[in-house]
Amino acid sequence: MDEKIPPTMELLDAADPADVEFVHNGLRGYNAQYAPSEFAHLYVFLRDEAGTLVGGLLGGTFWGWLAVDILWLDERYRGQGYGERMLAAAEAEGRRRGCAHVQLDTLSFQARPFYEKLGYRVYGELEDYPAGTGHKRYYLTKQL
């Protein structure tokens, strides 16, 4: 009788991108049985006159939602409408892709008022995030 060798587990600080993609694809395949959808990355980059990256929005669309993972803008360009324009561009692309909603998160020392001014509403929060700081993590959503 053949004995099965149990799988081994790895705990890593860095991973092979192919392994990461394999896990993502495994979950997407499972989820597709219940809610078919195509995940698509969405990137908005802001560059200065020299072509240097000074801001960006990283996210994706799936299941009729736009998910904004990161929105960052160099401090020199804040307060000039660039963040609003990057977010508006992502929302417009989300609509074009058939999204009806957008979701994102921010920390209490980041941009909650900025998002609320643009029509986002808080639907959840985590206390003491990062742990020991007394800050909060806010989860926000908006209908497109």
> Strand 101-107 relative to strand 65-73: parallel, antiparallel, unpaired?
parallel
pLDDT at position 1, please?
A: 59
Q: How confident is the model at residue 138, as a pLDDT?
A: 98
Q: Is 45 helix (H, G, I), strand (E, B) or coil?
A: strand
Is residue 25 domain-resident? no
Domain harbouring 68, CATH code: 3.40.630.30
Q: Within a domain: residue 19? A: no
In a domain, 104, yes or no: yes
Instruction: Give 39's DSSP letter.
Output: -
| Torsions phi, psi for 111 (to 5 deg) | -130, 30
Task: Judge whether 67 and 61 are in contact, CB under 8 Å.
Answer: yes
- Residue 4 domain-assigned? no
Structural domain boundaries enclosing 123:
39-143
Burial of residue 83, with CB atoms counted within 10 A of its CB: 0-12 exposed, 13-18 middle, 19 or more buried: buried
pLDDT, averaged in runs of 10, over the chain (144 residues): 85 94 90 86 97 97 96 96 98 97 97 97 97 97 98
Question: Is 85 within the bounds of a domain?
Answer: yes
Domain membership of residue 94 (yes or no) is: yes
Q: Are 121 and 142 contacting, i.e. CB atoms less than 8 angstroms apart? A: yes
* Residue 42: predicted pLDDT: 98
In a domain? residue 28? no
- Look at residue 78 and tell me if it is in a domain: yes
3-state DSSP assignment of residue 88: helix
Judge whether 76 and 49 are in contact, CB under 8 Å: no
The number of distinct structural domains making up the chain is 1
What is d(CA 62, CA 90) in angstroms, rounded to the nearest whole number?
13
pLDDT of residue 102: 98
What does the alpha-carbon distance between residue 61 and residue 88 come to, in Å, rounded to a whole number? 15
Residue 51: the pLDDT is 96
